[in-house]
């Protein structure tokens, strides 16, 4: 397996600075955002797909730091009911497919998208209940009239440009949000469609991640993996359940919040998750997506620009309960508290080397042992 990092957390660093820092930590790959929701801080598929010199410079930068590209990230909603919005997302998606073929990357990470409830809708409608009968009627219209026809054409376009895997992130708010919906779309449009398993979106829906991996692995449909955790706030769940529209800034009252690895579920489970991935034949990229409002100055920003990632080091026993002991491995420095992160956390500074750097590199890989 290879360790990757989702590029958005380094959005205020140049690509060269980002790769230098991650390479020094022992990270193998970079999940490169090229459009859509992830933005274009490091790369813009619309520009790169039309500029050979810029593509060569991009690849040279990766080569310089001995880093690979795990996937092109272009999350969006290409079936959005607003035509202009859908067109903008689709332009980025198609440009990403073209760019992938040009630079030798065969994997795209994105969302399935979500249409409106009917042809006259103005906003997406995520349907999750079977009654009243209006809902299943709308759901079938979404799938049969919009989603499946769109992805049949999108898969053909991607394949024509050398893309071999479209990893759909199973994400609430979109039509593909669990294994059943992912496999339904895959069956309808072909094996180019597979899953990006991001446990953080599945934990709070009540799924057993090991069973998710087994289900998708048996169908050879695991195309990517995001390493991100979720903490379930049991008290809030007992009172209000898991469906939660409160702001991510209101962590004290939410039913669940995104956490970095080990802060929602202990290291023992994460070891089982990695083991199950290998058992089911996935021996590929593990892409760390750090999105933890309790460790960030700005809460509820999908890509906080100043963050550190924490990986559990060991699970000491404390009063009969397992409690992860943390050791912090910074992914990027904090613009708010630069002194906390040392020289490697400041823009333009060199990554740490020597014994401390070796310890950091060793720590990044602990989950794969």
Considering its fold, how many domains does the chain have in total? 1
Residue 368 belongs to some domain of the structure: no
For residue 115, being part of any structural domain is answered with yes
Instruction: List the beta bridge partners of residue 107.
Output: 165
Q: What is the DSSP string of 162-211?
A: T--EEEEE--TTSS--SHHHHHHHHHHH-TTEEEEE-HHHHHTTT--HHH
Please report whether residue 21 resides in a domain: yes
Q: Is the pLDDT of residue 13 over 50?
A: yes
For 120-126, which contacts have Cβ atoms below 8 Å and span 24 or more sequence positions?
Answer: 121/81, 122/81, 122/82, 123/81, 123/82, 124/77, 124/80, 124/81, 124/173, 126/172, 126/173, 126/174, 126/175, 126/177
Mean pLDDT of 351-360: 46
346 assigned to some structural domain: no
Instruction: Flag whether 120 is in a domain.
Output: yes
Q: Which two tokens stand for residue 361?
A: 């590199």
* Residue ranges making up the domain that contains 103: 2-229+263-294
pLDDT tens digits for range 147-192? 999 999 999 999 999 999 999 999 999 999 999 999 999 999 999 9
- Mean residue pLDDT of the chain comes to 85
144 Cβ neighbours under 8 A, 6+ residues apart? none
pLDDT in the model for residue 117: 98
- pLDDT digit string (tens) for 257-271? 999 999 999 999 999
Burial class of residue 13 in the structure, from the number of CB atoms within 10 Å of its CB (0-12 exposed, 13-18 middle, 19+ buried)? buried
Go through 66-78 and write b for each residue having 16 or more CB atoms within 10 A of its CB, e for each that does not. ebebbbbbbbbbb
Residue 323 lies in a domain: no
Task: Categorize the per-residue pLDDT at 296 as very low, low, confident or very high, splitting at 50, 70 and 90.
Answer: low
Residue 337 belongs to some domain of the structure: no
Report yes or no on 33 lying in a domain: yes
Per-residue model confidence as pLDDT tens digits over 29-71: 999 999 999 999 999 999 999 999 999 999 999 999 999 999 9
CATH of the domain at 186: 3.20.20.150
């Amino acid at each position: 397996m290879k360790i990757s990092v989702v590029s958005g957390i380094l959005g205020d660093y140049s690509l060269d600075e980002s790769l230098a820092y991650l390479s020094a930590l022992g990270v193998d790959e970079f999940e490169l955002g090229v459009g859509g929701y992830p933005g274009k801080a490091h790369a813009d598929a619309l520009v790169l797909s039309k500029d050979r010199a810029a593509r060569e410079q991009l690849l040279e930068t990766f080569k310089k730091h001995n880093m690979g590209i795990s996937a092109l990230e272009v999350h969006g909603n290409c079936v959005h009911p607003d035509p202009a919005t859908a067109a903008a997302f689709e332009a980025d998606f198609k440009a990403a497919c073209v760019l992938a073929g040009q630079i030798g990357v065969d994997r795209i990470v994105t969302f399935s998208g979500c249409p409106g409830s009917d042809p006259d809708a103005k906003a997406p409608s995520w349907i999750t209940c079977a009654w009243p009968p209006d809902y299943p009627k709308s759901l079938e219209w979404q799938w049969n009239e919009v989603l499946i026809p769109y992805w049949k054409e999108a898969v053909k376009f991607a394949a024509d440009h050398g893309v071999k895997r479209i990893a759909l992130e199973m994400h609430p708010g979109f039509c593909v949000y669990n294994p059943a919906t992912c496999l339904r779309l895959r069956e309808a449009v072909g094996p180019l469609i597979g899953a990006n398993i991001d446990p953080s979106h599945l934990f709070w829906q009540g799924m057993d991640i090991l069973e998710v991996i087994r289900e998708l692995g048996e169908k050879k449909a695991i195309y990517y993996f995001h390493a991100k955790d979720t903490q379930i706030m049991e008290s809030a769940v007992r009172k209000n359940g898991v469906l939660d529209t409160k702001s991510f800034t209101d962590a004290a009252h939410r039913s669940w919040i995104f956490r970095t690895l080990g802060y929602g579920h202990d290291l023992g489970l994460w070891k089982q998750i990695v083991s199950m991935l290998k058992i089911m034949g996935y021996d590929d990229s593990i892409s760390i997506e750090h999105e933890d409002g309790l460790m960030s100055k700005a809460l509820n920003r999908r890509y906080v620009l100043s963050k550190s990632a924490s990986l559990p080091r060991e699970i000491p026993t404390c009063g009969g309960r397992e409690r992860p002991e943390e050791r912090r491995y910074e992914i990027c420095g904090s613009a708010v508290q630069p002194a906390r992160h040392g020289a490697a956390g400041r823009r333009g500074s060199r990554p740490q080397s020597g014994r401390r750097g070796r310890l950091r590199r060793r720590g990044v890989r602990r989950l794969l042992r």
